[in-house]
Amino acid sequence: MTETITPRRSLLGLGAGVLAALPIVASADTRPGGARTMLSAADFGAKGDDSADDTAALQAALDAAFAPSGPAFLLIPPGTYKVSRTLRVAPRADITRHHGIMAHGARLHSTIGDGGDVLAFDCQSTMRFLLIEGLDIQGSGREGAGLSLQCESKQHYLYNFCLRDLAIQGCGGDGARLLGDVFEGQIINSYFRDNHRNGVTFGHGKTAGILSAIHVFGCVFGQNGVYGAEMINGCYDVAYHGCYFLLNRRNGLIAANGCTLLSNCGFENNHEQAANFAGGGPGIWLQGFGTLVGCTAYSMFKQTRLIEAYVVDQLTMIGCAGSGDGDAKGAGLALIGGESKGRATIISPSGTIEYKNGFEALEIAPGSGGGIRFGSNWNSHNLARLGDHHLWIDKSGRLRLKKGAPSSDEDGAPVGS
pLDDT tens digits, 189-246: 999 999 999 999 999 999 999 999 999 999 999 999 999 999 999 999 999 999 999 9
**What percent of the chain stands above pLDDT 70?**
90
Residue predicted with more confidence, 8 or 100: 100
With b meaning 16 or more CB within 10 Å and e meaning fewer, what string describes 303-337? bbbbbbbbbbbbbbbbbbbbbbeeebeebbbbbbb
Kindly report the backbone phi and psi dihedral angles of residue 267, in degrees, each rounded to the nearest multiple of 5, phi listed first: -130, 120
Closest CA to 101 of 140, 138, 127: 127
- Over residues 264-275, the mean pLDDT reads 98
CB atoms within 10 A of CB 48: 23
Q: Provide the residue type at 292 as one letter.
A: L
Q: Compute the distance between CA of residue 138 and CA of residue 123 in angstroms, rounded to an integer.
A: 24
pLDDT of residue 58: 98
pTM: 0.87
92, pLDDT greater than 80: yes
Q: Compute the distance between CA of residue 188 and CA of residue 181 in angstroms, rounded to an integer.
A: 20
**Chain CA centroid to CA 61, Å:** 32
Q: Compute the distance between CA of residue 417 and CA of residue 414 in angstroms, rounded to an integer.
A: 8
309, pLDDT greater than 90: yes
Lowest-confidence range among 76-80, 154-158, 254-258?
154-158
The 10s digit of each residue's pLDDT in 351-410 is 999 999 989 899 998 765 667 777 778 777 777 777 888 787 888 888 888 888 888 888
- Over residues 115-126, the mean pLDDT reads 95
Half-sphere exposure in the Cβ direction for 283 (13 Å, CA): 34
353 within 8 A of 361, measured Cβ to Cβ: yes
DSSP string, 340-366: TT-EEEEES-BS-EEE-TT---EEEE-
239 within 8 A of 263, measured Cβ to Cβ: yes
pLDDT of residue 270: 98
183 within 8 A of 214, measured Cβ to Cβ: yes
Going by pLDDT thresholds of 50, 70 and 90, the confidence category of residue 71 is confident
Lowest-confidence range among 65-79, 87-101, 382-396?
382-396
Closest CA to 284 of 304, 264, 300, 301: 304
Half-sphere exposure in the Cβ direction for 409 (13 Å, CA): 8
Going by pLDDT thresholds of 50, 70 and 90, the confidence category of residue 33 is low
pLDDT of residue 34: 53
- Cα radius of gyration (the chain): 25
pLDDT of residue 46: 98
- Over residues 27-48, the mean pLDDT reads 75
**Chain CA centroid to CA 307, Å:** 15
344, pLDDT greater than 90: yes
Q: Does an H or E element contain 60, and which? A: helix 55-65
Residue predicted with more confidence, 368 or 167: 167
DSSP string, 214-267: EEEES-EEES-SS-SEEEETT---EEEES-EEES-SS-SEEETT-EEEEES-EE
- Over residues 316-329, the mean pLDDT reads 98
Q: Compute the distance between CA of residue 187 and CA of residue 173 in angstroms, rounded to an integer.
A: 19
What is the 3 state secondary structure string of 118-137?
A: CEEEECCCCEECEEEECCEE
Q: For residue 95, give the DSSP letter.
A: B
In terms of Cβ atoms closer than 10 Å to its own Cβ (0-12, 13-18, 19+), residue 396 is exposed
Residue predicted with more confidence, 296 or 24: 296
Residues 6+ apart with CB under 8 A from 191: 166, 167, 168, 169, 219, 220, 222
pLDDT of residue 370: 66
Residue predicted with more confidence, 77 or 397: 77
**What percent of the chain stands above pLDDT 90?**
74
CB atoms within 10 A of CB 99: 23
9, pLDDT greater than 80: no
